[in-house]
Structure 1
Amino acid sequence: MNFQHTEDRRMLADTLNRFIAEQYGFSTRDTIARSTSGFSADMWQRFAELGVIGALFDEADGGFGGQGFDIAVVFEALGRGLVVEPFLDTLIVGRALAHAGNAAQRTRIASFIDGSQVAALAHDEPGSHYEDARVSTRAEQQDGGYVLNGAKGVVQQAEHANVLLVSARTSGEAFDEAGISLFVVPRDAAGVNVRGYAKIDGGRAAEVTFDNVRVDADALAGTEGSGFATLEHARGYGVLALAAEALGAMDVARDFTLDYLRTRKQFGVPIGSFQALQHRMADVLLEIEQARSAVINAAAAIEAPRAQRERALSAAKYTIGRIGARVAEEAIQLHGGIGMTWELPLAHYAKRLVMIDHQLGDEDHHLARYIAFGREAA
């Protein structure tokens, strides 16, 4: 299999990397990340005009890419710039609607691509620990539609989202895969309550509660009770995206550290000349290349049969979680005390690498999934 990027992907990567370097430098990013909105609507529109969002979706849905390597290219560049705009949830919600949405819901994807609407996934619940099927929020049929009640936690950019994709249980018990349904809910619908807060790695998220939220029957995405498969499908793209984002962040942390080792002097010589530090840095470089291989494997398997796809995705997420933490730790330690300062960009990259491990399942969760799908395939 040829893993070389196509000419179109190379052009996309070059364009996006250049735009981020010139227009989204660290000081700009830091200002945006710490703002009251947690992202820049202007930057979001400019990313859309560059075609970056469109690269995440198939031509059938108005995009011009949508394959695993397209997503990896985009998110690797976003990771290099620590971009906080809502690419991840846009990808997951858009993919879910493309997979199971009705005709009207699928037309929303075009508004995601052109940057006119922001989407957020409302799936994880307070007290959950990455259990994919744990859904206690209820949706009951009433007067030809549905009434939603429940709570969701850590909903990315929910304060500024136009639409929420909400998982709710229409039947079964809290941990059953069967009985989960997905609903497209306007964020400003009556009974939707949003409490936003700043995230430790930049940007904003929110706790969202649903208090007798009434939606029409056509708000249901897909078939009632069969939403788990759609969630798994869409979140799989999210896992790939996070793994690629982490890879981009690791590349930058590596470059920062190598530059520091070449310039910081002790006893009159660069500390990079010390053999002990050379060995530590060599180990980091090897680990990053292993992470790169895992991302490539996941991107290649994103459209494979379920067991093969999920094993590759969980292998990548586990690898990224383990190696991301090591790269963050080594980069900080090799910088010494300065590595912990807020003013140094490296500290923000290290923080983001640690936080990526906790999105869409940490390394322990994905190791268990990898083992489970391996048994299933045996």
Structure 2
Amino acid sequence: MTWQDDTDAALDDAAHRYARERYEFSARLRLSTAERRFNAAAWRDMAEMGWLSVATPEAHGGFGVRAASIALLSETAGRSLINEPLIGMGILAPFVVAHHASGAQREMLLPPMLAGELRVACVLGDGNFRVSEGRLSGRCEVVLDADIAARFLIEAAGTLWLVEAEAPGVTVASYPLLDGRGAATVTLEHASCTSLGSSDASAVHMATALHLAALATAADSLGAMRAAFELTLEHLKTRRQFGAPLGVNQSLQHRAVDIYVRIAESRAVVNQAVASVQAESPYAARDAHAAKSFVCESARQALQDAVQLSGGIGITEEYAISHYLRRVRVNEQLHGSAEEHLRAFALAPSSFH
């Protein structure tokens, strides 16, 4: 791809090798639910490999805001069913801190965040928070990764606020998501907070942060879809019925082709979004919205077909396809639903006249 460079290729190659060794599916099944949710050693490994530095400018200790790397790493995460919080805490939170914090705050926050030592969960425009006498109150029902966060980055009254997860007045009710990742309902009652930076949150940077998260989520679903398709093809080639492989059935072949077409279309949409975001195109927002809306919906449809093509085994806990289906279903709702992004796509500036 023309939008990839040597750094992208190196990160992608290392990510694939690491994921194959660390996230082999049968080995993951033997882990406890908590171990599958988050592994601190794996998170530090990702930090050392640079996964958490791809959305932070070089001036602040990162590799730059690299849309191609973000997409490639997210695709690997989806393919390998990685539950560590790459998108929320490795991409979204560092980007927001790098672009909104004061110099002193960046020096305090970014090094431990990029090293995998400080985990910050973001609540951007999703909660009902208010500021009174320098303290925050309010509630957000679904805060992705809040179950493992040490701090929260909350948008309220046009400003970003830092809140300690264990501060007085902060209640975190954790729960698992359908696919094994985690979230929590966060309630603040006159909780102590610190404003991030000295001015109001920049609408441009906040929008870019959400576009990166949307693109990363779409790439994650693309990775899950590709992996499930490979398993489906293997099943159709090896599972025999009436003395012949299932794959000789023409109707099953047609359904497999439908999945392949969805993958090819999704790849094209993700590539377009990456190219636009990386080039800072005036149509970057439109293309990011298109990726989130189109790819996540296509992935859900493809995974439903893959489950049916796999027969009864497709819905079992011991078979990876059921896990991929759950992942893409969760991805549909993260960082804006398909319907929300479709509406935003329709309203975004277009190159067509």
Q: TM-score, normalised by structure 2?
A: 0.93
State how far apart, in whole Å, the 2-side matches of 1:223 and 1:190 are. 26
Q: C-alpha displacement at 1:85, in angstroms?
A: 0.6
What is the aligned partner in structure 2 of residue 163 from structure 1?
Answer: 151
Q: C-alpha displacement at 1:306, in angstroms?
A: 7.8
Q: Could you tell me which of 122, 127, 135 is aligned with 1:147?
A: 135
Which one-letter code corresponds to 2:88 in the other structure?
D
Q: C-alpha displacement at 1:43, in angstroms?
A: 1.1
Which one-letter code corresponds to 1:151 in the other structure?
R
How many pairs align?
Answer: 351
Q: Where in structure 2 are the equivalents of 1:61-100 lying within 5 Å? A: 61-90=60-89, 91-100=91-100
Q: Where in structure 2 are the equivalents of 1:185-196 lying within 5 Å? A: 185-196=163-174
Is residue 2:120 matched to residue 1:119?
yes
Q: Check whether the contact 1:339–1:347 (CA below 8 A) recurs between aligned residues.
A: yes
What is the aligned partner in structure 2 of residue 137 from structure 1?
Answer: 129
Is residue 2:299 matched to residue 1:324?
yes
> Which moved further from structure 2: 259-268 or 52-61?
52-61
Is residue 2:177 matched to residue 1:199?
yes
Q: Where in structure 2 are the equivalents of 1:6-85 lying within 5 Å? A: 6-30=5-29, 34-35=33-34, 38-85=37-84
Q: C-alpha displacement at 1:358, in angstroms?
A: 0.8
Q: Check whether the contact 2:236–2:245 (CA below 8 A) recurs between aligned residues.
A: yes
Q: Could you tell me which of 190, 194, 215 is aligned with 2:193?
A: 215
Moved >3 Å (runs of 4+): 27-33, 226-230, 303-307, 374-378
Q: C-alpha displacement at 1:227, in angstroms?
A: 5.2
State how far apart, in whole Å, the 1-side matches of 2:266 and 2:137 are. 41
* Corresponding residue SS for 1:294: helix
Q: C-alpha displacement at 1:189, in angstroms?
A: 2.1
Q: Where in structure 2 are the equivalents of 1:199-348 lying within 5 Å? A: 199-216=177-194, 219-221=195-197, 223-224=199-200, 226=201, 228-303=203-278, 308-348=283-323
Is residue 2:345 matched to residue 1:350?
no
Q: C-alpha displacement at 1:256, in angstroms?
A: 0.4
CA deviations on 1:316-346 (whole Å, 9 max, x unpaired) are: 0111122111111110010011101111111
Residues 210/230 of structure 1: CA separation in 2 closer, same or farther (3 Å cut): farther
Residues 293/222 of structure 1: CA separation in 2 closer, same or farther (3 Å cut): farther
Q: C-alpha displacement at 1:65, in angstroms?
A: 4.3
What 5-or-longer segments of structure 1 have no aligned partner? Answer: 126-134, 170-179
CA deviations on 1:104-154 (whole Å, 9 max, x unpaired) are: 2322122111111111012364xxxxxxxxx531013x3xxx211101122
Is residue 2:173 matched to residue 1:181?
no
Residues 115/198 of structure 1: CA separation in 2 closer, same or farther (3 Å cut): same
Q: Check whether the contact 1:328–1:351 (CA below 8 A) recurs between aligned residues.
A: no
Q: Check whether the contact 1:311–1:369 (CA below 8 A) recurs between aligned residues.
A: yes
Q: TM-score, normalised by structure 1?
A: 0.87
Q: C-alpha displacement at 1:221, in angstroms?
A: 3.6
State how far apart, in whole Å, the 2-side matches of 1:51 and 1:123 are. 25
Q: Could you tell me which of 328, 344, 349 is aligned with 1:369?
A: 344
* Corresponding residue SS for 2:348: helix
Identical counterparts, % of pairs: 31
What 5-or-longer segments of structure 2 have no aligned partner? Answer: none
Which one-letter code corresponds to 2:296 in the other structure?
G
Which one-letter code corresponds to 2:116 in the other structure?
G
Q: Check whether the contact 1:32–1:38 (CA below 8 A) recurs between aligned residues.
A: no
* Corresponding residue SS for 2:38: coil
Q: Check whether the contact 1:33–1:203 (CA below 8 A) recurs between aligned residues.
A: no
Residues 193/162 of structure 1: CA separation in 2 closer, same or farther (3 Å cut): same
State how far apart, in whole Å, the 1-side matches of 2:155 and 2:198 are. 12
CA deviations on 1:223-278 (whole Å, 9 max, x unpaired) are: 23x45444322111101111111111111011000000000111211111111111
Q: C-alpha displacement at 1:14, in angstroms?
A: 1.4
Which one-letter code corresponds to 2:240 in the other structure?
K
* Corresponding residue SS for 2:65: coil
State how far apart, in whole Å, the 2-side matches of 1:293 and 1:222 are. 41
RMSD of aligned Cα (Å): 2.2
Q: C-alpha displacement at 1:293, in angstroms?
A: 0.8
